[in-house]
Amino acid sequence: MIKKEKGLKIATIGGGSSYTPELIEGYIKRKDELPIKEIWLVDIQEGKEKLEIVGNLAKRMVEEAGLDWEVHLTLNRREALKDADFVTTQFRVGLLDARIKDERIPLSYGILGQETNGAGGIFKAFRTIPVILEIVEEMKELCPDAWLVNFTNPAGMVTEAVMKYGNYEKVVGLCNVPIGHNMLESKLLGKNPEELRFVYAGINHHHWHRIYDKNGKEITKEVIDKLFSNNANIMENIKFIPFIEEQIRDLEMLPCGYHQYYYLTDDMVKKELDEFAKNSTRAEVVKKLEEELFEIYKDPNLKHKPEQLSKRGGAYYSDAACELISSIYNDKRTDMVVSTRNNGALADLPYDCVVEVSSIITASGPQPLNFGKFKPAQRGLLQLMKAMEEVTIEAAVTGNYGKALQAFILNPLIPSGNIAKKLLDEMLVVHKKYLPQFKEVIEKIEKNN
């Protein structure tokens, strides 16, 4: 039970993130809904400078809003978690340098390199899942009633690991992609998002959706028409390559922006190889953007979220997290797209797995809306991707090399066979600092090389 009488304590793991100002802005917007007393921003030693920069901006924002909230900056995670009511996670194990390796190493093999898809997404899970499970163990001890709101990528796999291997139920995964789609597609129709109903189903970064007007009439086909007639880019932080119109019309649903990697693999690999050659992969671009953002954040006269943050690629993440927290705290029953336990909402996937689905957010957490069954085209790819996620999570927890190789071979973006094994081995060695569960495996690889 959340302790309303004393005010809320909210802890953010990865508090030095460039997204934190949006999180603070979201709390300020909801100051009448959330009786916040303390905000704790926690980071690691390597992130101390960024924590101090963004933390001081957070303090200025709160002061400018005329609020008496306490904003604490700390490297002591246990101190931040003690008696917290909500915990948000937005950390990146290995920082952006690890993401650069996740993108560039596969591309050196001519294989797609991306933060949450293909080999890069699998290795981000390998590095992240052991850390989130450590955090969960500390939460069980220090704040056992707290809700964990995770938007650390890969958000779906991280959330499933918390539920299945951390045995922690009060967790919700969050992604900004559905919000971006809602805003773009509403604009194409000349309407506000509130005038429409969006129904999502799938898994994180791999979902499809339908759209209905306020009278309940499905207008998905009309939106597909407008997407193609306007040649509209459906995701700002992925270089736009138009989908094949006949395929999308046959789906009779709108794809996720990340489906470009699966429906247009050859085109996307060519595009990314061009960026690779120019040292301008997305991770390298983001690293430069972050450096510029933190220079802006240093300005002692800055007391609000700067516009430049929208270029970072994660717009709306933090605001969605604040709305989720408010909906749980106030039992608002907001309709949101979240990663949560399936519980039969998607008939094509296991009952106990985590899916990303339209849900009603209540005081007892998300209540996923029943979607039913997919057509074969979506179902086949979705079931393959979910199996890949399950194997990836198991490998991340156990450090089992065979399971890691199975994840690579299952993934549609990684060619199977010896090239998959060679890529896996190289990435294990490169990331060994952050993969203690694979220590013996990596030692064997290094010895054989």
CATH number at residue 88: 3.40.50.720
The reply to whether 425 falls in a domain is: yes
Place of tokens 């050859």: 266
Domain coverage including residue 424:
397-448
The reply to whether 323 falls in a domain is: yes
Q: What is the pLDDT of residue 313?
A: 58
Domain's final residue, options 330, 363, 386: 330
The reply to whether 168 falls in a domain is: yes
**324, 416: one domain:** no
**19, 157: one domain:** yes
Q: What is the pLDDT of residue 314?
A: 57
204 is in an annotated binding site: no
Rounded Cα distance between 348 and 351, Å, is 9
Cβ atoms 199, 210 nearer than 8 A: yes
Exposed / middle / buried, residue 45 (Cβ in 10 Å: 0-12, 13-18, 19+): exposed
The reply to whether 236 falls in a domain is: no
The reply to whether 13 falls in a domain is: yes
**435, 300: one domain:** no
Token reading at 316: 């709306």
153 is in an annotated binding site: yes
Question: Of residues 258, 261, 297, 401, which has the active-site annotation?
Answer: 258
**168, 31: one domain:** yes
**28, 106: one domain:** yes
Cβ atoms 352, 341 nearer than 8 A: yes
Kindly list the averaged pLDDT for each block of 10 residues, start to end, along the chain of length 449. Answer: 73 95 94 97 96 97 97 98 97 96 97 94 98 98 98 96 98 93 93 96 98 96 94 78 95 96 96 95 92 94 85 68 95 97 98 98 98 97 98 98 98 97 98 98 94
Q: What is the pLDDT of residue 75?
A: 98
**138, 57: one domain:** yes
Q: What is the pLDDT of residue 226?
A: 93
**435, 292: one domain:** no
**315, 409: one domain:** no
Number of structural domains the chain divides into: 2
Cβ atoms 78, 138 nearer than 8 A: yes
Cβ atoms 344, 370 nearer than 8 A: yes
Q: What is the pLDDT of residue 408?
A: 98
The reply to whether 256 falls in a domain is: no
Domain's final residue, options 313, 330, 347: 330
Q: According to DSSP H, which parts of 315-438 are helical?
A: 317-330, 376-398, 401-410, 418-430
The pTM is what? 0.96
E strand or H helix that includes residue 118: helix 118-142
- Classify 72 as helix, strand or coil: strand
The reply to whether 410 falls in a domain is: yes
Catalytic residue flag (residue 258): yes
The reply to whether 247 falls in a domain is: no
Token reading at 287: 């690293």
**51, 148: one domain:** yes
Place of tokens 């996670």: 89
**156, 289: one domain:** yes
